[in-house]
Structure 1
Amino acid sequence: MFGYPKRIVSDRGTAFTSKTFRDYCNNKQIQHIQNSVASPRSNGQVERFNRTLIEAINKSTAEEKDWDTCIINVTWGINNTINSTTGFPAYRLMFKAKRSLLQGMGENEKDSEETAEAVQKEAKRNIEKTAERMKKTFDSKRKNPTIYKVNDLVLWNKSECATKDARKKLKEKFSGPYKIKKCLGNDRYVIAALKGVKGYKKFTAVVASDVLRKFMDVTEKEDSSSDSSIDSTEDLIDLLEG
């Protein structure tokens, strides 16, 4: 009905990293953007909508196994409820028409072209006002990210990726060290596992700066009297990977 999307933003689940999906996007000329590991804010609109969707489903059925049977009603309700940001239901903005709960689900009241244009302009103004207010709130609490460079050693906070297994709750949040393999920009880095580190398993991951912290090597410790032969980060990498 609406054609192919110009862009898809997704996580790094196997459904989205497969060759089949990559070929599909290339064939349909769809730009595919993958967010970093354990960084749901990278796809914030979807994550926020998922929260609303799950809450609505929970209120619509007493049996978890029946969640799919109420999707159609939940979707209809969300699409026809006034959005707090735009000030209008999504259905009206998309189809230039409004529905009433008193009407049948197949009936609607069509806006005139003038009304539809006025509604969309007002919705745009409302979105801009909300975005500006939310940016001010976010910026007031935001800290400048730590900047890393290639071959820096870092520790990775994997707690957001961890399962709810109770046995893992007492484990250290940070693991590593890992090596910065590539700087992607926008506070995103490709990190790689290092041979020689306990539990080594070859892999790379794209992660955000805020889940990393600098690994303090021996040259940065207060005890400068150490007779260690490791004089730099590069030496430590060579030792671990050698």
Structure 2
Amino acid sequence: MGHMGIERTLDLVRQRFFWPKMAAAVEHYVKTCNRCVRRKSLPEKAAPLVNIHTTRPLELLCMDFLSLEPDSSNTKDILVLTDHFTKFAVAIPTPNQKARTVAKCLWNDFIVHYGIPERLHSDQGSDFESRLVGELCDMTGIKKSRTTPYHPRGNPVERFNRTLLNMLGTLDNEQKVKWKEHVKPLVHAYNCTRNDVTGYTPYKLLFGRLPRLPVDLAFGLPIKEPPTVAHTDYVKNLKARLEESYKLASKNAWRSADKNKSSFDKYVKPASLQVGDRVLVRNVKIRGKHKLADRWEHDVYVVVSRTGDLPVYVVQPESGGGPTRTLHRDLLLPCGFLPPCYSDNAPNCTILRRPHTRSQSRLQSSPDVTEDQEQEEDEVIVPRERIVLPMRFSIKHVTDHDQQAEVSTTGDVIPSTTSGCVSPPQETLVVGPAVSSNPPCSDAAQIHDASEDGHGDEEDLDTVLGPQVTE
């Protein structure tokens, strides 16, 4: 009936049929409709916000690529690096997003200037997860972490990307043609302004002093730093100022994080998953014009494990084939009511065959009939959903047995009859979670090294950074 929803379907059924508990049966049937769930169910906010906390500079370095329109020099990518504690940012325009480019920028534009970070955080891009970047992290003792797929909220650098886009967008049209020349001056201006989260400028938290800006020279503003005689006195005063700044910055950051979490969690309906739950995975790989595509993938997955206290789950296909996937809770939709589906050829459909007569069986066994001809004759593709027709009868024919036919309290049993019957239903359709015959796998999916086509993983680290790196 067009999958028009509960109210319209119930109104249409009431005009033609009646049976006890009809409203509950129709509501349960619509809510568990396979096609409605895959097409109409919206992604739900089922996981509260989890904040990342740091207490010192370079404890966590976040990186990401920002892609823009090509400028006059055909540059269209910016490698963005931000220190999570101080909010200090570095942006490097790059000609491409290859692993070789990432490794060179990390070494030449950040590590040799500011030091080695303790941990490097990024998404699961093949350039960031490449063998070349992994060797650089191993050589410098950097721990590598990553976000879950299609969850940009897990990478704090995304917030600065929006700020950088706004700053570049305020340039004149003539300047936008050469936006590459304005990236570093704009980022320096950002580092010299107070951050709302910490209450300090990123420059001061990282270096312990205020920078001298062109405006200071233009107006002849004096340097506010007190003069010191010995280097030890300067270091002592600098240490005291930095310790006080770090305490206040941490306090302000915690307060801001709690405020953001409270605002975010207002719209969250917490719903954790248990091991063995059946779920659908959000269809996030749609590209181009796909207005009729389902919002959720065809395969049904089973929860294998949970990553600590985080809303991150390891799932595997219910059919047992295919690798496991590590996904955020917001990308999963519980679907214990859906029937199992193991078809790999045609999504949401099954192949039914017409009954064979003896003459057809002899004809099919003949070597003169090809397999393609046989399939054209005998295969009919129909939707997988089982069509359940309601019972139509007059009120005077209702018996005591009919009055007892109802949907169970759990909503798992739906009466099912064939068209034209006037007797009570003879069978029931039980919809519930199916138990997979394959034991769950406890190993999470591993991210393979980036392929050699276009990411520069075939090069050696010494070739990219130079021999002085390993000396």
Classify the TM-score, shorter chain.
0.7 to 0.9
Q: TM-score, normalised by structure 2?
A: 0.42
CA 1:121/1:17 → structure 2, altered by over 3 Å: closer, same or farther? closer
SS of the counterpart of 1:88? coil
1:91 matched to 2:217: no
Aligned equivalent of 1:234? 436
CA distance in 2, matches of 1:227, 1:145: 28
Distance in 2 between residues matched to 1:16 and 1:59, nearest whole Å:
30
Q: Which amino acid aligns with 2:216?
A: Q
For residue 189 of structure 1, the aligned residue among 272, 290, 313 is 313
Alignment of 1:55-204 (within 5 A): 55-62=166-173, 66-99=178-211, 100-103=213-216, 110=225, 112-113=237-238, 114-150=240-276, 152-159=277-284, 161-163=285-287, 165=288, 167-180=289-302, 182-185=304-307, 186-193=310-317, 202=322, 204=324
Q: 1:226/1:31 Cα in 2 relative to 1: closer, same or farther (>3 Å)?
A: farther
CA–CA separation in structure 1 for the residues paired with 2:146 and 2:252: 29
Give deviations 1:57-98, integer Å, cap 9, x for gaps.
111353655332211111111001111122221111111111
Q: How far apart are 1:141 and its partner, in Å?
A: 3.2
Q: Which one has more relative contact order, counting CA pairs under 8 Å at least 6 apart?
A: 2
Gaps of 5+ in 1: 238-242
State the shift of 1:210 in Å: 1.6
Q: Does 1:2 align with 2:124?
A: no
Q: Partner amino acid for 2:315?
A: I
Q: Distance in 2 between matches of 1:18 and 1:192?
A: 24
- The structural deviation recorded for 1:221 is 5.5
* Residues 123, 149 of structure 2: 8 Å contact kept: yes
- The structure in which a higher percent of residues are helix is 1
| Equivalent-residue separation in structure 1 for 2:160 and 2:319 (angstroms) | 41
Distance in 2 (CA, whole Å) between partners of 1:121 and 1:50 is 27
Per-residue CA distance 1:98-117 (angstroms, 9 max, x = gap): 13451359x97547535554
How far off its partner does 1:5 sit? Answer: 1.5
Deviation of the 1:212 alpha carbon: 0.8
Aligned pair partner of 1:212 in 332, 337, 352: 332
Distance 1:22 1:8, change over 3 A: same
Partner of 2:138: 26
- Asked if the contact 1:97–1:109 (Cα under 8 Å) also holds between the matched residues in 2, the reply is no
**Which stretches in structure 2 are left out of the alignment for 5+ residues?**
1-112, 227-236, 341-410, 416-426, 440-471
2: CA distance, partners of 1:208 / 1:103: 48
1:13-66, CA deviations, whole angstroms, 9 ceiling, x for partnerless residues? 1012222223332332221112111111111x2111111111111113536553
Q: Distance in 2 between matches of 1:231 and 1:210?
A: 21
Letter in 2 for 1:131: A
Amino acid in structure 2 at the alignment position of 1:156: V
For residues 180-234 of structure 1, give each alpha carbon's deviation from its aligned partner in whole angstroms, at most 9, with x where no partner exists: 36424222123345669xxxx9555321112111233339864374579x98332
| 8 A Cα contact 1:189 1:208, kept in partner | yes
TM-score of the two chains, using structure 1 as the length reference: 0.76
Separation in structure 1 between the aligned mates of residue 301 and residue 182 of structure 2, nearest angstrom: 47
**CA deviation profile, 1:141-189 (whole Å, cap 9, x unmatched):** 3322331325x43211124x544x2x12331111122323642422212
Q: Of the two, which has the highest radius of gyration?
A: 2
Answer whether contact 2:191 2:201 (CA < 8 A) is retained.
Answer: yes
Mapped to 1, the partners of 2:200 and 2:333 lie a distance apart of 43
Q: Does 1:47 align with 2:158?
A: yes
Match of 1:13 among 89, 107, 125: 125
